[in-house]
Structure 1
Amino acid sequence: MSPKEIVLELYSNDGIRNAAFLNEVLHDNFILEWQSSTGLLTKDKNSYIEFAHELKDNFATFSTDILYSIAENNLVSVACNHFGASIENPKHFILIGRFISVWEFEDDKIIKSYQISKPE
């Protein structure tokens, strides 16, 4: 898969909650720098995969509306909205937040991601 295809798989097929997929596509030296509503969060590969488990445990369904994606060389940028349905109310989707992410690739794997989000 191309870098753009990998990133789109993260969003379109629930790859962001799929620990096996993340383990396959994230570089061993992966780092996420996330500017969130609580400040700067930094996650390595293991803590990002743990986060995927938390998302899976807390949301019955998770979906993403991709507003745009741009690929150039080893970088892929995405703007999107994340939606989730709780286990208690699986038919009711709520907007969790709006995100802009830049994914950087090395050796056909994601080595770094810069992300900013705004909660709803």
Structure 2
Amino acid sequence: MALKVKDVVTEFYQSNFYEGKTVLENTLHPDVELSWYGTTGFRKLDFNGIAEISKELSSSYESLRAEIEKIVYKKNEVAIHFTYHVRTIENPDEEMPLAHFIAIWEVKDDKLYRGVQISQLGEEIEESPWS
């Protein structure tokens, strides 16, 4: 099961979840709950809240790519460290870091169930802290 929970998290972050609800429905548990500590404060999100943010991403960016730095997992829990890189609609030729994240997820029924996420606005990083 451990490899499967890692795959659930990896597939979600590497997907185009922001382009429609289908990926969200396939990867998020109906009772999903995400506690997000970000630069604008704390947000508690359910499925609809995550879908709304995904919709905003879709209208703001040409593309969104997760660069995964590290994943660790045990039983049904997964921690992931990653950076989202974006291409804006105004400048689709240049990719830039949007934000750096650390998230911890509990997986239930092969879907993301309970998560805690911390983010910081993106900046270029010389090298991975894990290298």
TM over 0.5: yes
| TM-score, scaled to structure 1 | 0.91
2: CA distance, partners of 1:9 / 1:91: 25
Note the alpha carbon deviations across 1:71-108, whole angstroms, 9 max, x for none. 11111110011111111111111111110001111222
Correspondence 1:59 to 2:61: yes
Q: Which residue of 1 aligns with 2:82?
A: 80
Aligned partners of 2:4, 2:51: CA distance in 1, in Å? 21
Q: Look up the equivalent residue of 1:75 and give its one-letter code.
A: E
Q: Contact (CA 8 Å) 2:15, 2:23: kept in 1 or not?
A: no
Q: Which has the larger radius of gyration?
A: 2
How far the C-alpha of 1:16 sits from its partner, in A, is 5.2
Detail structure 1 runs of 4+ shifted over 6 Å in the superposition: none
Identity rate of aligned residues, in percent?
A: 28
Which ranges in structure 2 are unaligned for 5 or more consecutive residues? 123-131
Corresponding residue number in structure 1 for 2:126 = none
Counting matched residue pairs gives 120
* 1:68 corresponds to 2:70: yes
CA RMSD, aligned part only? 1.6
Give the structure with the higher percent strand: 1
> Normalising to structure 2: TM-score of the pair?
0.84
Shift of 1:19: 2.1
